């Protein structure tokens, strides 16, 4: 079966044109170290903010689409929202909790269910925005919160045959500690990533269903991490209309595969004033040209999770020297907005030291905006936040997202969003 694009409504969206002259991955030149973020493909050195914004940044966005995440889908023509419930006395009366259904395409397209927690009396509040792993209901015991009907990973709490159940309510409340964040004066808006694209390969579901999934799939077809990032942008489409949220003070946050998503979402949408990829690793803020033998290699990630990236990225295989950028360039696209990479010592798979190298190599783009010291001279000691514009934090412990991690995000936001 070949899905008809017109019947699925794909013609309602336009995508950014990719220049025809981009070579196949194996035809690109080998570059052993991080490619110069300020040098264009034709070798021109960028020295001004204007040339960065008009030449190099758009070029990098095209390269990331074509060779890594797939095409960045355009904004849908219509985004509408319906409040499903609102509790103005949530969190011991300190906040308001509501869930909003966001519809952003033809009726058969997926919808986003955005769970929003806002501190009472603080409107308009700065807001952390991001996708979650297993459903909004897992983040709070509140019985009005919707239970996802989409496929969910079996690893989720009380998931039965890949379906979420009411028994899972509140079981992952520590990963997005809504009350703690609300009490620190910030709002939170989160949605189940599977609303947009369930995290499995090959099945025509979610936003993938709107693309040609069976035949003639372009090598740069929109991949799952890009769809998740696009979902974050749709959440923002609603949030900027919400009077309780300060549209100028949005921070995008995500953990691990959703940390990769947070960085990509921040790079491709400057409505995010702060970008926080947590333990994002390979495909996020971790370098593809990794020097850490314990870190996840590109070949491994594209084999284990082929749907996260487009086929062109898989084609690099072991030879990451042919990738015409490294992840420092994705961070650089965010300039001058603050980016905080947070990590854990025992999570070498996510390459904590490599992420600091990535921040350091992104600094020249930030310097174009007049920040003479956008990044610390060396990796900060464990447990100490380095709160430069290119911020960094590493704690003891493992791969997880905890209430203590959220204290670091709010500390960073206190500096950059106040």
Nearer to ligand GTR, 230 or 305 (CB): 305
Nearer to ligand GTR, 266 or 374 (CB): 266
Residues with Cβ within 8 Å of 218's Cβ and at least 6 positions away in sequence, in order, are 71, 212
Nearer to ligand GTR, 59 or 296 (CB): 296
Q: Is 399 a catalytic residue?
A: yes
C-beta of 126: minimal distance to ligand GTR in Å?
A: 26
Binding-site member from 150, 195, 237, 296 for ligand GTR (CB under 6 A): 296
287 binds ligand GTR (CB under 6 A): no
Q: Which long-range contacts (CB under 8 A, 24 or more apart) does 395-400 make?
A: 395/342, 395/343, 395/344, 395/345, 396/344, 396/345, 396/346, 397/344, 397/345, 397/346, 398/344, 398/346, 398/347, 399/256, 399/279, 399/344, 399/346, 399/347, 399/349, 399/350, 400/175, 400/255, 400/344
Nearer to ligand GTR, 81 or 226 (CB): 226
Query: CA 356, CA 353: separation in Å to the nearest integer?
Result: 5
Query: CA 8, CA 214: separation in Å to the nearest integer?
Result: 14
Q: Is 63 helix (H, G, I), strand (E, B) or coil?
A: helix
Measured over the CA atoms of residue 169, residue 171, residue 175 and residue 178, the dihedral's sign is positive
Using the CB atoms, write b or e for 235-263: b if 16+ within 10 Å.
bbbbbeebebbbeebbbbbbbbbbbbbbb
In the set 184, 244, 399, 400, the catalytic residue is: 399
Task: Map the footprint of ligand GTR across residues 346-385, applying CB under 6 A.
Answer: none
Query: CA 22, CA 56: separation in Å to the nearest integer?
Result: 15
C-beta of 281: minimal distance to ligand GTR in Å?
A: 5
Of the candidates 162, 95, 101, 171, the one whose C-alpha atom is nearest the C-alpha of residue 127 is: 95
In the set 66, 233, 255, 256, the catalytic residue is: 256
281 binds ligand GTR (CB under 6 A): yes
Nearer to ligand GTR, 63 or 282 (CB): 282
Nearer to ligand GTR, 262 or 267 (CB): 262
Residues that bind ligand GTR (rule: CB under 6 A) add up to a total of 6
C-beta of 262: minimal distance to ligand GTR in Å?
A: 12
C-beta of 68: minimal distance to ligand GTR in Å?
A: 14
C-beta of 341: minimal distance to ligand GTR in Å?
A: 14
Residues with Cβ within 8 Å of 146's Cβ and at least 6 positions away in sequence, in order, are 84, 99, 113, 136, 137
C-beta of 292: minimal distance to ligand GTR in Å?
A: 14
Report how far Cα 316 is from the mean position of its chain's Cα atoms: 22
Per-residue mark of binding to ligand GTR, 241-280 (x: CB under 6 A): ---------------xx-----------------------
Nearer to ligand GTR, 67 or 228 (CB): 228
Nearer to ligand GTR, 253 or 273 (CB): 253
Of the candidates 289, 108, 253, the one whose C-alpha atom is nearest the C-alpha of residue 181 is: 253
Q: Is 256 a catalytic residue?
A: yes
Q: Is 338 helix (H, G, I), strand (E, B) or coil?
A: coil
Binding-site member from 223, 273, 301, 323 for ligand GTR (CB under 6 A): 301
Query: CA 73, CA 60: separation in Å to the nearest integer?
Result: 16
100 binds ligand GTR (CB under 6 A): no
Binding-site member from 60, 68, 282, 331 for ligand GTR (CB under 6 A): 282
C-beta of 95: minimal distance to ligand GTR in Å?
A: 28
C-beta of 301: minimal distance to ligand GTR in Å?
A: 5
Secondary element (H or E) of residue 87? strand 80-90
Residue with tokens 């964040």: 181
Residue 322 half-sphere exposure toward CB, CA atoms < 13 A: 19
Query: CA 412, CA 416: separation in Å to the nearest integer?
Result: 6
Residues that bind ligand GTR (CB under 6 A): 256-257, 281-282, 296, 301
- The set of catalytic residues is 256, 399
């Amino acid at each position: 079966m070949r899905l008809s694009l017109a019947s699925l409504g794909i013609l309602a969206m336009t995508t950014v044109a990719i220049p025809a002259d981009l070579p196949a991955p194996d035809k690109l030149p080998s570059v052993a170290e991080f490619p110069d973020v300020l040098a264009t493909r034709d070798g021109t050195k960028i020295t001004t903010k204007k040339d960065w914004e008009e030449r190099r940044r758009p070029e990098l966005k095209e390269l990331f689409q074509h060779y890594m995440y797939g095409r960045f889908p355009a904004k849908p023509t219509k985004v509408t929202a319906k409040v499903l419930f609102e509790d103005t006395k949530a969190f011991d009366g300190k906040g308001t909790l509501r869930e909003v259904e966001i519809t952003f395409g033809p009726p058969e397209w997926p919808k986003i269910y955005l769970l929003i927690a806002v501190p009472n009396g603080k409107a308009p509040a700065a807001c952390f925005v991001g996708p979650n792993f297993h459903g909004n209901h897992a983040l709070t015991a509140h019985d009005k919160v919707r239970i996802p009907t989409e496929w969910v990973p079996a690893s989720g709490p009380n998931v039965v045959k890949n379906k979420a159940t009411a028994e899972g309510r509140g079981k992952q409340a520590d990963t997005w500690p809504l009350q703690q964040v609300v009490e620190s004066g910030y709002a939170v808006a989160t949605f189940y990533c599977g609303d947009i694209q369930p995290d499995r390969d090959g099945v025509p579901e979610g936003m993938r269903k709107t693309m040609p999934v069976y035949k003639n799939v372009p090598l740069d077809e929109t991949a799952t991490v890009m769809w998740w990032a696009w979902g974050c942008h749709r959440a923002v489409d609603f949030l900027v209309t919400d009077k309780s949220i300060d549209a100028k003070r949005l921070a995008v946050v995500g953990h691990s595969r959703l940390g990769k998503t947070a960085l990509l979402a921040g790079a491709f949408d400057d409505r995010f004033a702060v970008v926080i990829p947590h333990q994002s690793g390979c495909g996020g803020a971790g370098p593809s040209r990794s020097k850490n033998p314990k870190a996840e290699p590109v070949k491994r990630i594209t084999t284990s999770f082929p749907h996260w990236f487009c086929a062109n990225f898989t084609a690099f295989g072991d030879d990451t020297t042919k990738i015409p950028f490294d992840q420092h360039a994705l961070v650089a696209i965010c300039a001058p907005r603050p980016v905080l990479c947070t990590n854990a010592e025992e999570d070498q798979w996510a390459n904590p030291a490599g992420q600091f190298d990535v921040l350091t190599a992104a600094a020249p783009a930030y310097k174009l905006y007049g920040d003479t010291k956008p990044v610390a001279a060396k990796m900060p000691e464990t447990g100490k936040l380095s709160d430069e514009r290119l911020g960094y934090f590493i704690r003891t412990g493992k791969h997880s997202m905890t209430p203590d991690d959220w204290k670091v995000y709010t500390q960073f936001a206190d500096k950059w969003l106040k």
